[in-house]
Amino acid sequence: MQVLLRYVFKAPLFGLEELSRLIAVWVYFLGAIFGTKLDSHVQGDVVERLFNTVRGRAFVKTATWFLSLIVCLLFLYHSTKYCFWLYGTGERTTGLWWPRITSVGSMFFGAVFMTVYSIANVLKFFNAAIRNPDRGPGGAE
């Protein structure tokens, strides 16, 4: 689009690439948030298939989400540190001279909500594992 505007219409739209990158980064992290919230991210279920019971599978999901929570907490820590550092420098983008925190802030925003939803998923699957005992034939546990 930029090439068309610049060379055909002789009217370049300054900062279009920067704006598209800003939108893309925010959309990526919004997608990660929704993937975490809805438990719809790409995942392998090899270990989960080893368990035939609902309770066993719920414990596997609990462990999986607990590991995801640890990763989200690490991501939250580092994105927070980076955002505070970047805010302190007052760094701006090269094209539109916007504060870089407008794009990098998406990492912090995404990390916060992915951490919150990971905690919710750990609790949800742990409760499912505890409260849903598997019943044998005739209702016996």
With a pLDDT cut of 90, the percent of the chain lying above it is 60
For the chain, where are the alpha helices, taking DSSP H only? Answer: 2-3, 16-38, 46-49, 54-89, 101-131
pTM score of the predicted model: 0.82
Most confident of 12-26, 41-55, 85-99: 85-99
**Which carries the bigger pLDDT value, residue 13 or residue 123?**
123
Tell me the pLDDT band of 137, cut-offs 50, 70 and 90. very low
Distances (CA, A) of 138 to 55, 87, 132, 134, 141: 18, 63, 16, 12, 9
Average pLDDT over residues 9-23: 81
At 140 the pLDDT is 46
Average pLDDT over residues 104-128: 97
pLDDT in tens, 28-80: 999 999 999 999 988 888 888 888 888 999 999 999 999 999 999 999 999 99
Average pLDDT over residues 78-94: 95
CA-to-CA distance for 95 and 22, rounded, in angstroms?
A: 12
Average pLDDT over residues 4-23: 80
CB 93 within 8 A of CB 18: yes
CB atoms under 10 Å from CB of 130, counted, come to: 12
**Is residue 104 over pLDDT 60?**
yes
At 36 the pLDDT is 96
Average pLDDT over residues 88-117: 94
Assigned token pair, 20: 């598209």
